[in-house]
């Protein structure tokens, strides 16, 4: 079971993801989604690292007004760690698995297979830039991913 009931936890780790939405584009033609292939638990540090890496490439090559990057999962599961001694003679000092509940260390987001991690809205002309940025972001995540592309309908268009 995920450890999420914050009212019972004395010290909750701070959220390290600074922004969940970046960019200033107004008109979009396509949306690219970075989707996980298997169910996984992704730490907030990995999410923030992927967001920073993708945003850096997008901002440099597409400009601030060429895209909107959205980080989708919210890290709400509290991860605990049982700290062990690793020095010489640690076996005589440490208690092993006795009272090994652990202290809250970080937050994580749980994702099911096929869930998007981030999505980028942009114009068709920036397709290669967006794919490159999502590939770099995927390298920061501990799970296999794929990039999905979806065409957005313009206002006034009908699907006949």
Each residue's pLDDT tens digit, 98-108: 888 889 999 99
Residue 92 resides in a domain: no
What whole-number distance in Å separates Cα of residue 44 and Cα of residue 73?
A: 10
Residue 156 resides in a domain: no
What whole-number distance in Å separates Cα of residue 133 and Cα of residue 114?
A: 19
67: containing domain: 17-75+110-151
pTM of the model as a whole: 0.88
Residue 55 resides in a domain: yes
We report the CATH number of the domain holding residue 67 as 3.90.1170.10
Domain count for the chain, please give it: 1
pLDDT level of residue 143 (50, 70, 90 thresholds):
very high
- Backbone φ and ψ for 131, nearest 5 degrees, come out as -60, -40
Alpha helices in 27-149 (DSSP H): 44-62, 90-93, 127-138
What whole-number distance in Å separates Cα of residue 101 and Cα of residue 146?
A: 36
């Amino acid at each position: 079971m995920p450890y999420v009931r914050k009212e019972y936890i004395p010290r909750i780790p701070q959220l390290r993801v600074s922004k969940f939405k970046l960019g200033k584009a107004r008109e979009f033609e396509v949306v690219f989604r970075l989707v996980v292939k298997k169910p996984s638990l992704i730490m907030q540090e990995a999410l923030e690292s992927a967001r920073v890496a993708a945003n850096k490439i997008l901002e440099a090559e597409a400009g601030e007004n060429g895209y909107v990057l959205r980080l989708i999962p919210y890290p709400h599961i509290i991860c605990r760690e049982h700290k062990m001694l690793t020095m010489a003679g640690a076996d005589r000092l440490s208690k092993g698995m006795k009272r090994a509940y652990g202290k809250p260390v970080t937050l994580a987001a749980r994702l099911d297979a096929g869930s998007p991690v981030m999505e980028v809205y942009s114009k068709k002309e920036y397709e290669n830039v967006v794919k490159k940025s999502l590939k770099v972001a995927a390298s920061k995540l501990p799970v296999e991913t794929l990039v999905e592309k979806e065409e957005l309908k313009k206002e006034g268009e009908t699907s006949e």
